[in-house]
Amino acid sequence: MIRFSEEHVWVRVEGDIGVVGITAHAQDTLGDIVFVELPAVGRTLAAGAVAGVVESVKAAADVYNPVSGSVTEVNEALREDPALANSAPLDAGWFYKLRLSNPAELEALMDEDSYASSLMT
């Protein structure tokens, strides 16, 4: 299952782990991504908290955590090659993984169809 936030962040649920990244729309809007700041492993994040920063040739933007949890892993490949967020935003360009502390928060996020519709308004 994958869900999307209004802040253009996605979370793909794998058991009790959420894999988090920015959407294709976000990376397209930002342009060529040149730097990412990822959260520390072990950090506890509330839903809506700033989890990191993404910088592009156009702008810098905060990455807002979509659901509460504790960071279990960060994508070191993304730190080494930030352009992965452009070339594979829903795959190799993931940002971090977290153990979900309140899976019910997923219900407040959009499914793929709802997210696609929100981009058209």
What span, in angstroms and rounded, lies between the C-alpha atoms of 43 and 51?
Answer: 9
The pLDDT tens digits for 73-99 are 999 999 999 999 999 999 999 999 999
* pLDDT of residue 121 exceeding 90: no
User: What is the maximum alpha-carbon separation in the chain?
Assistant: 37
Look at the domain 2-103 and name its fold: OB fold (Dihydrolipoamide Acetyltransferase, E2P) (2.40.50)
CA 121 to chain centroid: 22
pTM for the model stands at: 0.96
Burial of 104 from C-beta contacts in 10 A (0-12 / 13-18 / 19+): exposed
